[in-house]
Structure 1
């Protein structure tokens, strides 16, 4: 049997080449599995084939004792379980000691989102008389119109936008592409920004990316976070927010206004409908608030 470090390298290559996982996801898998290797060393377990179901349960207990969050424990167990599944698939091992180990149940945390009135205040606070302001307005409009992730937004190229059909080609997780429509507010904001603000910001730079910073270079995810912090400060809202809240708001508002779950799943780029279902809890809460506020015998 090959050395475990060699097997880990081969597993990482499998995630890169066959599964098309992002570098961030791959790094998480690698770290989780290396943490498990440290546990093996502590328990004086030499080979991966020597790990038993009892060892797997001890590892789970140890993670709890080290006060990891339930979400982190679930991810770590899942990473090692997936590693063993790969070893089974490659006929390197014939058992998966983590197959019978249950991950801890996660506390369901409802996603934060903006109410439509709050978003309206945010949109109106943007000063579009400057190139940066035109970019910020386009950034806000595109993210709310499409519900795309911050990383997806940073990667949009000019050639990804089809103004005639009002759709954007988005490159999502695992390099999966999808077309997402946008409305006339985003259309107008993009048109103004591309023809005016972007030209002034980009100056003599040449690159295909839609959103640029003050130096004319492509806007990063960190840059988008910074812009949001500035916009919130200017809008004077007390809400502690992050750009992902725009995505949450997009999904919540669609469902509140009658969109079906499968359509919202496709627009968000979720691989399964279960990831989208969390927003139905938000809409239920919204309905309960309306009911209690307006029903005479609530």
Structure 2
């Protein structure tokens, strides 16, 4: 089993080119499955049966795992059994018919347009003192809200990924899929200030081409960005406590409320499925319903 898991990890990282985070998640889920199977006396991966997979998921449910977690683990199991069959480690794909609970899709909290404007304007005002970190923070917040990119995509950006002539940023999303995302003039101005006045003052020799660097001069990490977003949003009265992914939700919601085409938003966000993007239409509808109930005398 150990050798099989090591080969599966190589498959995920090298052949499928999944992110390190996704590889870790899949490997943890499959390891849990393997441990469960070993308790049932199954030590050969080719001997895994559908009933073993189902009993594993049932055990997860009994121990209080959420529907979202169960759905993810079922997906990991199906990927594993399909790989076993394809590589000759199993006679057939035992997990092909494994079902999974449909995860509850909750409406993500988002900022109102005025709250988002306060967030970025306060960051820009704070950057007026000219400190490198202040310039960097303003540029990161402007870019997150302007583009709706993921925090991992933000910290992975290099200087050459920004096309200032066309106001586009080249992003490598999940599965290393490349896309170009536009940004507006406020984000462009904040980026220019950071690149001209701030980056050189912070950048260390080992920062490479990183667009955004931290206080020590190396490529900024995701935790620093999350801390920044939470801290800045906490300064806005009444705003929900959201992180960088909440800004992604906010950008998508505001685009749709402004009349953007759903497929254009899908392309901008890098969603593989349009169904994922459609979640934001429900967010907008929910906000409209709340406004109607509060304002209409016959609601």
TM-score by length of 1: 0.91
State the shift of 1:286 in Å: 2.0
State the shift of 1:136 in Å: 1.2
Alignment partner of 1:27 is 2:24: yes
Q: What is the rounded CA distance, in whole Å, between the counterparts of 1:215 and 1:38 in structure 2? A: 42
Q: What is the rounded CA distance, in whole Å, between the counterparts of 1:237 and 1:213 in structure 2? A: 29
* CA contact 2:136–2:199 (8 Å) conserved in 1: yes
Q: What is the rounded CA distance, in whole Å, between the counterparts of 1:249 and 1:133 in structure 2? A: 23
State the shift of 1:294 in Å: 4.6
* CA contact 2:156–2:210 (8 Å) conserved in 1: yes
**Cα distance change, pair 203–72 in 1 and its aligned pair in 2 (3 A):** closer
Deviations 1:86-133 (A, max 9, x none): 122234323333333321121111122111111122123221123222
The DSSP-based 3-state class of the residue aligned with 2:101 is coil
Q: 1:179-198 to 2 correspondence within 5 Å?
A: 179-198=180-199
The DSSP-based 3-state class of the residue aligned with 1:241 is coil
Q: 1:8 is matched with which residue?
A: 5
Number of residue-to-residue matches in the alignment? 295
Q: 1:196-275 to 2 correspondence within 5 Å?
A: 196-202=197-203, 207-237=208-238, 239-275=240-276
The DSSP-based 3-state class of the residue aligned with 2:240 is coil
Q: What is the rounded CA distance, in whole Å, between the counterparts of 1:203 and 1:79 in structure 2? A: 40
Q: 2:160 is matched with which residue?
A: 159
Q: What is the rounded CA distance, in whole Å, between the counterparts of 2:95 and 2:135 in structure 1? A: 52
Q: What is the rounded CA distance, in whole Å, between the counterparts of 1:207 and 1:49 in structure 2? A: 45
State the shift of 1:253 in Å: 0.7
**Cα distance change, pair 40–137 in 1 and its aligned pair in 2 (3 A):** same
The DSSP-based 3-state class of the residue aligned with 1:267 is helix
Q: What is the rounded CA distance, in whole Å, between the counterparts of 2:229 and 2:27 in structure 1? A: 32
* Structure 1: gaps of 5 or more residues: none
* Structure 2: gaps of 5 or more residues: none
State the shift of 1:293 in Å: 4.2
State the shift of 1:238 in Å: 5.4
Deviates more, 1:206-215 or 1:15-24: 206-215
Please, which of 73, 76, 86 is the counterpart of residue 76 of structure 1? 73
**Cα distance change, pair 292–9 in 1 and its aligned pair in 2 (3 A):** same
* CA contact 2:257–2:284 (8 Å) conserved in 1: yes
TM-score by length of 2: 0.91
